[in-house]
Amino acid sequence: MADLAAFSDSYAEARAKFLDAAGPQATHYLHPSQKGPAGEPLYLDVAVIGPPDASRVLAVGCGTHGIEGYPGSAALTHWLRSGAAQRLPPDTAAILFHAHNPWGFAHKTRVTEENVDLNRNFVDFERPLPPNAGYAELHPLVTPGTWDEASVATVFRRLEAFRQRVGEQAYSNAFNGGQYTHRDGVYFGGERAQWSNGAFRRAVRGHFGAARKVAFIDLHTGIGPRYEHIYLCFHPAGSPGYERARRWWGVRAVNREGVTHKAVAVYHGVLIDAFAALLPSAQVTTLVVEFGTLPREDVQRAALLQRWLRFHGAQQPDLARGLVAGYEEAYYPSEPRWRAAVLEQSHELLESGVRGISSS
């Protein structure tokens, strides 16, 4: 069994472990208005491991979906503690983003302080926002005011009827592709750029000026078989980015093996796309990696529960307190075997990234 000491119970604990492992080469972006549950300040921390002017950079981020940052933080800390800095080839650096969405991380929820899914927020708010007519139809079905087994069963009955009527792709697009019309809904992309959006952009502009060959991995949890990780590569099939991902991480990086969605949604406003757009002069390869937790319907149930807890939990505090632990387990399982698998698989994932980015 792997040493699980890299895992943490709070944002403050995770941050302290990460910064201790990363050393002095870190930049801190302080949230100007929000605090953690104990009044602690919140930061996006960016650690540069290796030469800051390296032309080859492996970038890894965690906490885009708040609570999912706990396993990602442990993965980064564990990798650093293993001596990663000493194994970097010449002209190669690792730039590690700790807590893209620190408010969600600290409060153990997927969204930002404005109920925004940060991974739908990287859109141009000066232009018309992406429409999602399917979600408008689903919204009254997936936002129950009461939470019990009967109401949840009704939600999933209605979702299944919708899926049967419109098909898998339209269902995925509607349910979790992102929506910009219902601020009290799920997968809400926001009405403005979140602070976390701006902080991420500032960090990328500030740390990648010399980079010419870059790989970025965004770490998540939820999708995929338990004890395994899956890849979501959004480079078009056959494109240079697609082929680099296949060479560096193997065919699983591009064939979506293990993905529990029958059809992956067409997403809007995702962080990896914003990252690539910020580096037009670099060769950029991006990947989303998910460490699987629960079957798809159970993860969907957790997403709906998060919304219910936020908007209705205060009216039923005893019920809400009893539901929180189950919600957290959906994105940050406490099982030692699961956590050990995250450390083992993430270590090889990052090592493969270093080999790939430093290859000719």
Q: Rounding to the nearest 10 degrees, give the CA dihedral for residues 65, 68, 74, 80.
A: -30
Tell me what pLDDT residue 262 has. Answer: 75
Of the candidates 335, 97, 60, 83, which has an alpha carbon nearest to the alpha carbon of residue 217?
A: 60
Tell me what pLDDT residue 8 has. Answer: 98
pLDDT by residue for the chain (360 residues), tens only, comes to 578 999 999 999 999 999 999 998 899 999 999 999 999 999 999 999 999 999 999 999 999 999 999 999 999 999 999 999 899 999 999 999 999 999 999 999 999 999 999 999 999 999 999 999 999 999 999 999 999 999 999 999 999 999 999 999 999 999 999 999 999 999 999 999 999 999 999 999 999 999 999 999 999 999 899 999 999 999 999 999 999 999 999 999 999 888 877 788 899 999 999 999 999 999 999 999 999 999 999 999 999 999 999 999 999 999 999 999 999 999 999 999 999 999 999 999 999 999 999 996
Tell me what pLDDT residue 1 has. Answer: 56
Alpha carbon distances (Å) from 5 to 87, 291, 341:
22, 19, 14
Tell me what pLDDT residue 13 has. Answer: 98
Q: Which domains does the chain have, with CATH numbers?
A: 11-357 (3.40.630.10)
Tell me what pLDDT residue 260 has. Answer: 78
Where b means 16+ CB within 10 Å and e means fewer, 300-316 reads: bbbbbbbbbbeebbeee
Single-letter amino acid code for the residue at 54: A
Which residues are CB-contacts of 100 (< 8 A; sequence separation ≥ 6)?
44, 61, 62, 63, 64, 69, 118, 196, 200, 271
Read off the tokens for 216: 């970025």
This prediction has a pTM of: 0.97
Q: Would you give the distance in Å from CA 68 to the centre of its chain?
A: 6
Tell me what pLDDT residue 118 has. Answer: 98
Q: What is the largest CA-CA distance in the chain?
A: 60
